[in-house]
Amino acid sequence: MEGVLKNFRMGRHHQTDNQMVLVVSSVTKKDQAAKLVGKAVTWTTPGNKAIKGKITAAHGNSGAVRVLFEKGMPGQSVGKKVKIE
């Protein structure tokens, strides 16, 4: 299964570098997104290094989910595809 990283998880005055919002094309409702909690996510850098994360919660009512990555994500990851296992 694949998804697209939409943005960093942000507050009014800051952004959290190791948490991102992920949109999965086949998921459109909050209850469907809740079923993905706990699954592993992998983003491959242009240099072929893998950064791993885990889906922690649903984000909003449209089926987006929050992903907690093991380290800070670069800005070039926004808009890129990730693999969900």
pLDDT of residue 68 exceeding 90? yes
pTM of the full structure: 0.91
**Rounded CA separation 48/9 (Å):** 24
Q: Is the pLDDT of residue 71 over 90?
A: no
Nearest to 82 by CA among 34, 26, 40: 40
Spatial separation of the C-alpha atoms in residues 82 and 44, rounded to whole Å: 7
CATH number 2.40.10.190 is the correct assignment for the domain at 2-84: yes
